[in-house]
Structure formats: C-alpha cells, structure tokens
Amino acid sequence: MKARSVRVWAIVHRWTSLVSTVFLLLLCLTGLPLIFHHEIDELLGYAPKPQTIAAGKEKATIDRIAGAALASDPGKVLQYIAWDKDEPGIVIAYTNHTVDGKPDDAAVRAFDAYSAEPLGPVGTGPMLAVLKLHTDLFLGQPGKLFLGSMGLLFLIAIVSGVVLYWPFTRRLDFGALRQGKSKRILWLDWHNLLGVITVAWAFVVGGTGVINTWAEPMLDQWRVGELASMVAAYTGRPQPSHLVSLDRIVANAKKVDFGLDVAFIAFPGTPFTSPRHFAAFMRGDKPLTSRLLRPVLLDGDTAEVASTRDLPFYLKALFLSQPLHFGDYGGMPLKIVWALLDGFTIVVIGSGLYLYLVRRSKTGHRRDYLSTSAYGVNT
C-alpha cells in the first residue's frame, strides 16, 4: 500500500475512533448486562413467572385475558396483546390512555395464559434504565439517531483499522506480544491482538446496532407504503362500532398459514394497523422464522381476513438484527460468547484511548495517525 493511502486511511481511522470512543465504551458497558437481562430480571424478582398448572388444563380465552387487562387498568384501552415465545404460560397486554398513545405511556402487564390472573408488570426495574441508556440516552428518537451515527463511525473505524493492520504488522508474527519492550508497546500488541479477535463480532454487533436505531423511520416507511396499500380498498369505510371477539381474530389469522402462530395482535387505530383492522403478526417456530413476522389484517367488525403480505426487506433486517445484537439466538452458550467478546472490545477501546493519551503526552502535538484506534494498529 502506498504511503499516501496509508496516511489517508490513518487519518480516517484516527478521527472516527476518537469521536466515537466515549460513546462506544458506554454502549459496551451497558450492553454487557443487557446480554443477560432476562436472567438478571429473574434474579432481582422483576420477571413474571406463570402459575403451576395442572396437567390437561385448557388455556384461558384471549377475550378473558383482555378483560383481565382492562380490569387491571380501569379507564385505559388495549393496544396490543403478545405471546412470550420463550414462556408459553405468559400472555402480555399493553394498555394506554388512547389506542394511539405513546409507547412510554403504556402499562405492560403479564397474565397467566391458563388462569388469566395478573402476574405483574413487565419491563420494570433497573434493567429498564440500563436499556434506555443503551438505546437512546434517555433522549428518545434523537438519542437513537445520535447513537446510530456513532455506530456508523465505529464501523468506519473497524474497516480502516483492518486496512491498516497488515502494513504495520507484516514484520511481526500473528499475535506476537513483545514482552521485552515498553509498557506502551505491550499494550499496543494486546490492543491489536484483541482487535483482530473481535473484529468480525464488533462489525456484526455495530451494524445491527445501527439498524436498530433506525427502527422508527423504518416502521414509518412501512406504514405509509406497504400498510397503506394493504388497506387502500377500505378507505372511507367507517371504523368498527363494536370490536369482534379476539378469539375469532386469532383463529382466523392461524387459518391463513397453519405453520405459523400469533406473535402479537395490534388493535385497530394503533401504529401497526389501520383504524378499521386488527393486525395479527405471525411467526414460525424455528430460531430464525420466529423472528420473521408476517402481518395479517382482519376486519374489526367481522374478523374476516382483509389482507396479508410479507414484510419488506428492511423490516426483516430489523427484526433479525434485534436479537442478534444481544446474542439471543443460541441460548446461554451464545450469550457467554457475546459477553466475552464484549469484554474484549471494552479492553480494545480502552487501550486505544490509553495509547493515544500516552503517545500524545510524549510527543506533544506531533501527529501520530495510528495511535488512537479502537480497532487499529501502531508502530
């Protein structure tokens, strides 16, 4: 590689790393407990557990669970009813002041799928604060987009670090740790080694993180495009005066594809459907297909299927990236791997900042393009 190209890549790498370093450390530190959020919630008593049910007992009707949800929050209306894919004994209900109310105003409660008894609120406790800090810095959508921009800088830093790795380590054995050198050189070798080990994981997690920050714009695009097309034939028709039974909605939705089950139901007027239709979002039973949802719109008056179609590619990418970001595909073994790689990444980012500060203190304002990397190299 020509010296001029190396210099350009080094400048790109230096500043993308420097600008994003603090926020990357924050994301890695908050992301580590979020990998085990379910286990932590269970340990702290914030994870609702279903009651012990006698063998052969039938599940409660969905209408009964909906009634229990409304009784738990008088004066509110239902927005969504969801089924926990990892805990079949739990049904989750979302109520709000209005059907199109803000997500932050919703009350989310778990109910026993057999007795319809309330099991407690969902998404409370200290992990909720950690999640908000990780996803939007408590700033809502502006915070998400800002973190998304930091994620893009992170991806550029990774690519530029990979490009620079070979020119500055070609005289060293792979993974060499120069024990006889200075402390800074030893930290540099560890920085480079852990950076190479984690580079693929960091790119995947960084990329899925960026996609997740675009969730709301993606859903807005789907609503004005695909959803509007699905309900175009019903434009001008009145809203249902009396909503049909939820059990009929579930039964008719399952008839569309017997290989799918209902993940959640969106009530008419919510952001996931039209003012006239229920939307049943269907999922498969495999690790991959359980993440790929398919919407089925059903008439709120009659429960007849009005329309169904696959989600566009960008929403499929979103739904696949969300669990991948936190290692939710492979159970505890994958979570442990994710946690180890997250820890390595914290060391890489922290050591890159250390190397920059040490080198800068020794050289003053002299330019050293390769001492600031989160995923780079040095000489």
Give yes or no for a contact between 370 and 164, defined as CB atoms under 8 angstroms apart: yes
Is 348 part of a structural domain of the chain? yes
Q: Same domain, yes or no, for 158 and 51?
A: no
Task: Looking at the structure, tell me whether residues 142 and 210 fall in a common domain.
Answer: yes
More confident residue, 177 or 243: 243
Q: How many CA atoms lie within 13 A of 354 on its CB side?
A: 16
In sequence order, which residues have a C-beta less than 8 Å from that of residue 205 and are 6 or more positions away? 31, 324, 325, 338, 342
Is 338 within a domain? Answer: yes
Rounded mean pLDDT, 264-284: 94
Residues 194 and 333 in one domain: yes
Report if residue 61 sits inside a domain. yes
pLDDT at 7 over 70: yes
Query: Quick one: 84 and 24 in the same domain?
Result: no
Cβ atoms within 10 Å of 39's Cβ, excluding its own: 13
- Residues 201, 346, single domain; the answer is yes
Task: Name the residue range of residue 82's domain.
Answer: 47-122
Q: Are 26 and 53 contained in the same domain?
A: no
Q: Report if residue 230 sits inside a domain.
A: no
In this structure, the answer to whether residues 93 and 162 fall within a common structural domain is no
Which amino acid type is present at position 173?
D
Q: Provide mean pLDDT across the span 102-118.
A: 92
Tokens coding 27: 């994301």
CB 20, CB 150: distance < 8 Å: yes
Contact 215, 141 (CB under 8 A): no
Any alpha helices (H) in the chain, and if so which ranges? 3-35, 37-44, 62-72, 126-136, 141-169, 183-213, 215-222, 228-230, 246-256, 313-325, 331-363
Query: Cα-Cα-Cα-Cα dihedral of 281, 286, 291, 296, to 10°?
Result: -20
Contacts of 215 (CB under 8 A, 6+ apart): 144, 318
Mean pLDDT across 35-64: 85
DSSP 177-210: --TTS-HHHHHHHHHHHHHHHHHHHHHHHHHHHH
Amino acid at 206: G
In the chain the first and final C-alpha atoms are separated, in Å, by: 16
351 falls within a domain: yes
53 and 201 inside one domain: no
> Given 122, 154, 173, which residue is the final one in a domain?
122
Percentage of residues in the chain with pLDDT exceeding 70?
90
Cβ of 357: how many Cβ atoms within 10 Å? 12
Domain boundary among 64, 93, 122: 122
Does residue 111 form part of some domain? yes
Q: How confident is the model at residue 55 (pLDDT cuts 50, 70, 90)?
A: low
Residues 207, 345, single domain; the answer is yes
pLDDT at 366: 45
Q: Is the pLDDT of residue 234 over 90?
A: no
pLDDT for the residue numbered 168: 65
Where is 172: in which H helix or E strand? none
Stretch (H or E) spanning 109: strand 107-112
- What value does the mean pLDDT of the chain take? 86
Dihedral sign for Cα 265, 267, 268, 274, please. negative
Do 30 and 145 lie in a common domain?
yes
- pLDDT-derived band of residue 76, with 50, 70 and 90 as boundaries? very high
Do 141 and 32 share a domain, yes or no?
yes
Task: Judge whether 24 lies within some domain.
Answer: yes
b/e sequence 289-328, b meaning 16+ C-beta within 10 Å? ebbbbbbbbbbbbebebbbbeebeeebebbbbbbebbbbb
Cα(343)–Cα(339) distance, integer angstroms: 6
pLDDT of residue 372: 41
Does 196 share its domain with 88?
no
In a domain, 142, yes or no: yes
Indicate the pLDDT class of residue 274, thresholds 50, 70 and 90: very high
Percent of the chain with pLDDT over 90: 53
Tally of domains in the chain: 2
Mean pLDDT of 249-257: 92
**Structure-model confidence comparison of residues 257 and 341, the more confident one:** 341
